[in-house]
A and B are shown apart, each in its own frame.
Chain A
């Protein structure tokens, strides 16, 4: 069952590469949060109940509800344009993300370690690379935050591969980390919104001493 959800997760990446609006990105992030909930539920069932409930709460409350709501608030408060404004066309993005998935499949065949779950590895690796690609190819700062969250989802899936031994502290560390980064980026973003009216990364090139 968790394989089905993992494949659905990859399809959400493909959908994200063709989306045109920021709100679609956020919807897909919510969707990914729910899928992560399902994957955690199915693959970590042997785990200590308290830890399991904590991780499930993290996926559902944090990834699927809190962060998207927070990002939506930022978008509304700063009057960010709803267009995603990628710097390359969506067609090229789709080709690149398909290429990323194929490459991570090919990479995973090179690993001979039998204890590694290859499906989880492929999904997490393609998530991390897709997140990096999103950060590189999108103009707005808010999409950089979204790319960062995609990378974080990828890291979370990778940690599920060793899930049953994963101590709670690692998980808390992840949670604190993204909480801090989203908060800092949010505040930073509000400040940028006050100073510059159009938060576009390309304008940062105009900064001089």
Chain B
């Protein structure tokens, strides 16, 4: 329960901090840190316009996307407090809930009949396909490492002892951060600020959505970012008591936001044909995590 409250709280200022960092680095004053949430609230107050060529799928897709992200958040634990939904093997359901939401977004994008949106849907499907093995190999390695298969037990029994387990922590933080940045279409893969349909990935899929649908999609993306951030936080807080783990959660979320802002300020977007290799790299790195886990468990020697 506690994780939902703090994830929703952190989502209020996460994107704001990213934008503020980008503004400050480029020498501007920038909007306030609640501006993205204010934009979303403004969109919530507006009605939607639907194209006459689109069917009911286009109308239900944003709600299901939003719901899938929220249910996925229900599974995220916080330290030694389990999520609302917690059972053995819940990380598989976590991944496929996000997959369901993404599938409906892709189908809805195809439903509009716009050629640009079909192109964006194709790219989104390709990148999600490449991300999935990385996430599963990573979580599978942790399941092997700890001997449990639910988020709560994995994170609760995970403790870092020697050099090599810090290596696991570092590598998995790297993989999860880049998964988060790819899934939420941030800079090195996709530029959320781009204004050319040919180079967009996620943004081009939601060109036809408006009003409350657009608000739900934007807020779901924002929540997804914080959700991956809280998975990363769980690596570090372990079994700390709540009065220490909650400030630590906000600190780690804030530093992740600053980190994303800095990456976005200093990196250019990749060329579209360089993206698959960048994302596949995450799978290779998570294979290395698997290798290290085998090494620690001495299954290997």
State the majority secondary structure of interface residues on B: helix
Whole-angstrom CA separation of A93 from B284 in the bound complex: 12
Chain A 70-113 residues near chain B, CB threshold 8 A: 89-91, 93-95, 97-98, 101-102, 105, 108-109
Residues of B within 8 Å of A14, CB to CB, are: 281, 284-285
Do the beta carbons of A18 and B277 come within 8 Å of each other?
A: yes
Do the beta carbons of B284 and A94 come within 8 Å of each other?
A: yes
Residues of A within 8 Å of B193, CB to CB, are: none
Number of interface residues of B (CB under 8 A): 22
Whole-angstrom CA separation of A182 from B273 in the bound complex: 34
Do the beta carbons of A118 and B288 come within 8 Å of each other?
A: no
Asked if A119 is an interface residue, CB under 8 A from chain B, the answer is yes
Residues of A within 8 Å of B2, CB to CB, are: none
Do the beta carbons of B281 and A18 come within 8 Å of each other?
A: yes
Distance (Å) between the CB of B269 and the closest chain A CB?
15
Distance (Å) between the CB of A110 and the closest chain B CB?
12
The verdict on A98 contacting B287 (CB below 8 Å), with A91-B280, A118-B300 known, is yes
Residues of B within 8 Å of A10, CB to CB, are: 288
Distance (Å) between the CB of B130 and the closest chain A CB?
10
Do the beta carbons of B300 and A109 come within 8 Å of each other?
A: yes
Asked if B60 is an interface residue, CB under 8 A from chain A, the answer is no
Asked if A11 is an interface residue, CB under 8 A from chain B, the answer is yes
The verdict on A95 contacting B280 (CB below 8 Å), with A11-B288, A102-B287 known, is yes
Do the beta carbons of A7 and B280 come within 8 Å of each other?
A: no
Of all chain A residues, the one with the shortest Cβ separation from B284 is A98
Tell me which of A11, A94, A101, A119 contacts B280 (CB under 8 A).
A94
Chain B 243-301 residues near chain A, CB threshold 8 A: 273-274, 276-278, 280-281, 283-285, 287-288, 291-292, 295, 300-301
Do the beta carbons of B164 and A101 come within 8 Å of each other?
A: no
Of all chain A residues, the one with the shortest Cβ separation from B166 is A4
Asked if A1 is an interface residue, CB under 8 A from chain B, the answer is yes
Do the beta carbons of A11 and B285 come within 8 Å of each other?
A: yes
State the majority secondary structure of interface residues on A: helix
Whole-angstrom CA separation of A98 from B277 in the bound complex: 12
Residues of A within 8 Å of B288, CB to CB, are: 7, 10-11, 101
The verdict on A101 contacting B287 (CB below 8 Å), with A3-B164, A119-B295 known, is yes
Residues of A within 8 Å of B41, CB to CB, are: none
Asked if B129 is an interface residue, CB under 8 A from chain A, the answer is no
The verdict on A3 contacting B295 (CB below 8 Å), with A90-B274, A98-B287 known, is yes
Do the beta carbons of B301 and A18 come within 8 Å of each other?
A: no
Distance (Å) between the CB of B188 and the closest chain A CB?
12
Tell me which of A3, A91, A105, A109 contacts B276 (CB under 8 A).
A91
The verdict on A7 contacting B287 (CB below 8 Å), with A18-B281, A90-B274, A91-B276 known, is no
Distance (Å) between the CB of B172 and the closest chain A CB?
13
Distance (Å) between the CB of B167 and the closest chain A CB?
5
Distance (Å) between the CB of A191 and the closest chain B CB?
36
Distance (Å) between the CB of B292 and the closest chain A CB?
6
Distance (Å) between the CB of B151 and the closest chain A CB?
25
Do the beta carbons of A94 and B287 come within 8 Å of each other?
A: no
Residues of A within 8 Å of B292, CB to CB, are: 3, 7
Distance (Å) between the CB of B23 and the closest chain A CB?
31
Chain A 27-86 residues near chain B, CB threshold 8 A: none
Whole-angstrom CA separation of A14 from B174 in the bound complex: 15
Distance (Å) between the CB of A76 and the closest chain B CB?
26
Chain B 164-198 residues near chain A, CB threshold 8 A: 164, 166-167, 171
Do the beta carbons of A3 and B163 come within 8 Å of each other?
A: yes
Whole-angstrom CA separation of A14 from B300 in the bound complex: 22
Whole-angstrom CA separation of A108 from B283 in the bound complex: 21
Chain B 50-87 residues near chain A, CB threshold 8 A: none
Whole-angstrom CA separation of A53 from B113 in the bound complex: 69
Of all chain A residues, the one with the shortest Cβ separation from B164 is A3
The verdict on A4 contacting B284 (CB below 8 Å), with A94-B277, A118-B301 known, is no
Do the beta carbons of A7 and B300 come within 8 Å of each other?
A: no
Residues of B within 8 Å of A102, CB to CB, are: 287
Most buried by A among B277, B288, B292, B301: B277
A-B residue pairs in contact (CB < 8 Å), sample of 22:
A3-B164, A3-B295, A4-B164, A4-B166, A7-B167, A7-B288, A7-B291, A11-B285, A14-B281, A18-B277, A18-B281, A89-B277, A90-B274, A90-B277, A91-B276, A97-B284, A98-B284, A101-B284, A105-B300, A108-B300, A118-B295, A118-B300
Closest 9 CB pairs of A and B: A91-B277, A98-B284, A4-B167, A90-B277, A94-B277, A14-B284, A18-B277, A1-B163, A91-B276
Enumerate chain B interface residues (CB-CB to A < 8 A): 163-164, 166-167, 171, 273-274, 276-278, 280-281, 283-285, 287-288, 291-292, 295, 300-301
